[in-house]
């Protein structure tokens, strides 16, 4: 079976990208990263990609007059590298609806909260301010809403009484680095069945 080609979009240091690369190297994911794209020229994720011999492309949002034009530029690079699954790994840009429709069912994201709670930015601070005892992370398919797509995997993380947004984020990140590769592996193995909002994980016998 051919390997799934991943296109990873990242705006920052690329720690989730590194977790995915490590899982691929350990043969836990039947995939290869075909391209890493960032909207920031100085993103460490681009450096990580180059160190692994992966094409690293910066598409600077500031160079485009609209989200739609930016989305078209992203799509051109993704199609050029024959990407099967678009993986958002700390990509801090809202995607254009046309882009989402073009790759419908083939865009995955990880969010540092137990969706549908605490959507959008600063999810860790939202959780602390609300006073919840549990937060966590969610891997989901991307739709045209903000963190509203069908949920693939979730895992809870306790919120400690003395937590700050940063300390909670670090604890959640440890789980993200394990959960995201698991979800990608399920996709690559053909074990995710989507039906509206519901995503069913097939057993190895059912796939």
Band (206; pLDDT cuts 50, 70, 90): confident
Summarize pLDDT for 28-67 with one digit per residue, the tens. 999 999 999 999 999 999 999 999 999 999 999 999 999 9
Say whether 177 is catalytic: no
Active-site residue (options: 52, 81, 111, 140): 111
- Whether 207 shows a pLDDT value over 70: the answer reads no
Cα distances (angstroms) measured from residue 46 to each of 26, 38, 93, 163, 172: 21, 7, 16, 31, 23
CATH class of the region 4-196: alpha beta
Q: In the predicted model, what is the mean pLDDT of the chain?
A: 96
Summarize pLDDT for 110-168 with one digit per residue, the tens. 999 999 999 999 999 999 999 999 999 999 999 999 999 999 999 999 999 999 999 99
Tokens 């193995």, residue located: 189
Q: Which of 26, 44, 202 is nearest to 8 (CA)?
A: 44
In whole angstroms, what is the distance from residue 66 CA to residue 166 CA?
A: 32
pTM for the model = 0.96
Domain ranges of the chain: 4-196
What tokens does 79 get? 């199609």
- Whether 204 shows a pLDDT value over 90: the answer reads no
Average pLDDT for 169-187: 98
């Amino acid at each position: 079976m051919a390997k799934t080609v991943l296109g990873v979009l990242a705006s920052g240091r690329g720690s989730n990208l590194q977790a995915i690369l490590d899982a691929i190297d350990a043969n836990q994911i039947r995939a290869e990263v075909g391209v890493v794209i960032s909207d920031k020229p100085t993103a460490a994720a681009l450096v990580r990609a180059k160190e692994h011999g992966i094409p690293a492309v910066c598409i600077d949002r500031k160079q485009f007059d609209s989200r739609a034009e930016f989305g078209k530029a992203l799509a051109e690079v993704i199609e050029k590298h024959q990407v099967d699954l678009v993986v958002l790994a700390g990509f801090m840009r809202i995607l254009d609806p046309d882009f989402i429709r073009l790759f419908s069912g083939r865009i995955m994201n990880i969010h540092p909260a137990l969706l549908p709670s605490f959507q959008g930015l600063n999810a860790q601070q939202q959780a602390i301010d609300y006073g919840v005892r549990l937060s966590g992370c969610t891997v989901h398919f991307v739709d045209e809403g903000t963190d509203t797509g069908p949920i693939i995997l979730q895992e809870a993380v306790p919120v400690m009484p003395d937590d700050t947004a940063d300390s909670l984020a670090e604890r959640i990140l440890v789980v993200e680095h394990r959960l995201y590769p698991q979800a990608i592996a399920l996709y690559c193995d053909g074990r995710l069945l989507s039906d509206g909002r519901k995503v069913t994980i097939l057993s190895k016998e059912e796939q």
